[in-house]
Structure 1
């Protein structure tokens, strides 16, 4: 059995491979004490775009500067795409590994490649073996491959001197039975050592790894606290216990537990790896975990946004990560911006009172209700806001497909007509609103843009407050009073997004005067509902 820890390689997707010297030194000592056989210290790469730390390149000079544990196998990983790209393979290998293994601290080179790169990348194994390196190949995204495809890959591998043939559950979508079946397919053609690299989308990384060991796999990967791309991997601290039990040899976990407390738990709080319901859905639908990782680290994505993108990728396919695909998926509306209803019929010349979802509405309810009864503004409520008497609300506005789906029952019970981009919504959302009186006002999302047309608008974001402002503006209202826009804490990233939205709106041609009449942190012009 070969127990391999790849924290400094896989975990680097969170911190740009920029691990502190103190962490690395503590890590090396902990790995030796825990019974780890191989440490993969990072990537070795020719790419140099943006800042990445030392573990993104893991040069011989860097490795030689470390207090390497005696007897530990030292590994690095190369992305197969760098061996099948513009640079000829042997030239790339010579640049990556200028010294033979006898003059390098590196013992093991693993090459990670997609199925379509495998055949072309395999000759690298011969070149590396001739220079004295051990070689492993990690096949990614095999979970959805057929039996014949897996066997064909194994037949290709037979022709090359691999020390281990790995497969990775890249999407975290496999269960133990699928792992066992995949191993059996490989084994029908490949008789050499096999390895597995699991992801924890569905909290099955450890179970899948142990099942693989039961099925005869002898190389297993893990990372400290599971730190790795997306939800992460099987956790070294748990696998170390299982490996020690199978070997009948106790492992010293004290340095590893100290490493967690001192370095990795604080990093996990900061970067947020680990499984959650979003990663679970991504695993279930075979969606690349980087989509989730990117959205969770971007304050623009609300809970509704993340779920909507997952649903889009489930239908359209999301096995290969692309920022362009992610950006397109965030635009949830179908077809050209259009609508069937003009807000001028209800808004022209009216004072509009826009009710947000902040606590200011409930706190100042009596004053707001008194103002509405005396001055009769057109009252427009966001989503299902119900902190004041329902009879005083004229219209509701909602635009996010996931939020609409979640609130459809509430909307059908509420008496007010609903303004929404109805004709542009997904079919299931339209069906959920079939019994509701809707006013169809179209929506186009375009960065840093506001535009107000007769039956549709352009917004920089799908936030419902931006849509509500555009409805009133297209409707040629006189002015907008705002209640319940209290704002978030100073450190909450949503505060910045809302401030930016209001700034873009107020700078847009045709924008209406905005006045907050309950407390707000957004820097809006403010007056008191009590003075009104």
Structure 2
């Protein structure tokens, strides 16, 4: 293979980025073909996976890269080999054990770094470089940098401690002009090679990569068929074809066709690539897995996603004093609510001083005539669903509880509850549960001294579940388990969750 002098360096990270779909396991025959074919392509680096500390969940061989895997990759590839380390998970003390088996096999170690951890990452990068590796600093979330670029002083330290500095468009939200502007600033301060890693949410991965190249970037990432998390990456075959057209590289197109063919089965199985939710994540600079989760698992409207959270009107402070309750009924969206609606209403009426909490607006009409105090937990489009329930005539005994800002969605407030709404504060809730309305409600109950919670409408999904339903079921199961020691939780109606049961018909 012949190259022009000072040409663009190319890094294929299919095995590392594609591992998000395969859990970092790949069939042996595919690996053999992948290395045989990439050996015939004008690439410089093959990134084969992660060096990671041990996790509780299962991750495959290319997430941990034990020595035998490293040996096989090194034997099979003529190119330099790279790995990635998630900086947030690894300390300087972890370096020796992580890199112990890498010497002689790995050439480049790349650090994935959040902007807020940039300064901290310098020590880790220096430590890795002292071990004899090339080191790249991959700074994420570039579409959010705007004019808040890394300062000149810290860039000087990066010059001294790293071999590459990567601009990473994590949300796939950049445009060529913003790439050019960013590169112009970085080139004025950095003497090391600048790289670009683009995601394809807005189908601009190629345009942005070429803009980076034309603005002085010296190394570009890509993956076969764009295989990568969410919307995927710049396609290796597309980038190579463009460089071939520009007569920058020589290329055997049949080899390129063959390597594409061996990943087609994966694409048919995992369906990576952009779609409307991923486009929304790009234009809003929001995590793509979060947007997809909200849409598929929690049925939020795409219109509700916005980076700067606001509501139609300033909500009432959370200091609003509503009556004190020791018991509550939590109403989910399952069919069991309607099946046992009359009995649940009778139980609530007999108790009187019991709070009704809606995690979903699906079953509110069952309680349209109830005199019990009612809380509607709202995020995204749930408020519109509530407003559409024409059977509700009296809103005087209802309050809208608006999700905190870390839910990352606009919240629509029903017109009848605009003056009866409480916006929860992020600082008061554990964000490890992220956007779970169930976890939010259980934390709210504890905060407001509720001792006993009766649950209905958390039915489960039956024997066959979609991927999203399974994830939501497992998430809710973990949440109920986490709170069972602090809050007494009873299921009133049939459920697949592991909850203590008290039949509604024994309570009326």
TM bucket normalised to smaller:
0.5 to 0.7
Residue 123 in 1 paired to residue 101 in 2?
Answer: no
Q: Choose which of 253, 257, 273 in structure 2 pairs with 1:254.
A: 257
CA RMSD in angstroms, aligned pairs only: 5.5
Partner-residue secondary structure (3-state), 2:388 = helix
**Distance in 1 between the 2:193 and 2:400 partners?**
57
Alignment of 1:422 with 2:399, yes or no, is yes
Could you tell me which residue of structure 1 aligns to residue 281 of structure 2? Answer: 282
SS in 2 for 1:424: strand
Structure-2-length-normalised TM-score: 0.65
2:242 is aligned with 1:242: yes
Write the distance in 1 (CA, Å) between the matches of 2:417 and 2:99. 64
Q: Kindly state the Cα deviation for residue 2 of structure 1 after the two structures are TM-superposed.
A: 1.4
Q: Could you list the per-position Cα deviations for residues 162-203 of structure 1 after superposition, in whole angstroms to 9, with x for gaps in the alignment?
A: 1x3212122333222111111011100113322111223333
> 2:143–2:173: 8 Å Cα contact kept in structure 1?
yes
The corresponding residue for 1:159 is 160
Q: How many pairs does the alignment contain? A: 435
Q: Deviations over 1:19-78 (max 9, x none)?
A: 222232232234345543321111223445443222123244313224855532222223
Mapped to 2, the partners of 1:280 and 1:490 lie a distance apart of 30
Residues 389-410 of structure 1: per-residue CA shift (max 9 Å, x gap): x9xx968997544333333663
Give, in angstroms, the shift of residue 214 of structure 1.
1.9
Instruction: Decide which of 382, 388, 410 is 1:410's aligned counterpart.
Output: 388
For 2:175 and 2:186, locate their aligned partners in 1 and report how far apart those are by CA, in whole Å. Answer: 17
In structure 2, relative to structure 1, the CA distance for the partners of 1:232 and 1:497 (3 Å cut) is same
Partners of 2:243 and 2:396 in 1: CA distance: 59
8 Å CA contact retained: 1:200, 1:232: yes
- Does residue 1:491 correspond to 2:494, yes or no? no
Task: Give the Cα–Cα distance (whole angstroms) in 1 for the partners of residues 98 and 334 of structure 2.
Answer: 58
Structure 2 residue corresponding to 1:77, chosen from 76, 84, 87 = 84
Say whether the 8 Å CA contact 2:491–2:503 is kept in structure 1.
Answer: no
The answer as to whether partners of 2:14 and 2:47 remain within 8 angstroms in 1 is: yes
- Is the 1:171–1:286 contact (alpha carbons within 8 Å) kept by the matching residues of 2? yes
Q: Which runs of 5+ in 1 are unaligned?
A: 317-332, 343-353, 362-377, 467-484, 515-532
| CA–CA separation in structure 2 for the residues paired with 1:151 and 1:46 | 32
TM-score (norm 1): 0.62
Gaps of 5+ in 2: 1-7, 311-315, 326-330, 339-348, 350-357, 405-409, 425-436, 481-488, 494-498
Q: Shift of residue 138 of structure 1? A: 1.9
Per the alignment, do residues 235 and 421 of structure 1 end up closer, same or farther by CA in structure 2, a change over 3 Å counting?
farther
Do structure 1's residue 434 and structure 2's residue 396 form an aligned pair?
no
The answer for the alignment partner of 1:211 in structure 2 is 211
Tell me if the contact between 1:83 and 1:93 (Cα under 8 Å) persists in the aligned partners: no
Distance in 1 (CA, whole Å) between partners of 2:97 and 2:444 is 53
Tell me the residue number matched to 2:20: 13
Q: Report which of the two structures shows the higher radius of gyration computed on alpha carbons.
A: 1
CA distance in 1, matches of 2:244, 2:31: 23
Task: Name the counterpart of 1:347.
Answer: none
Deviation at 1:209, TM superposition (A): 1.3
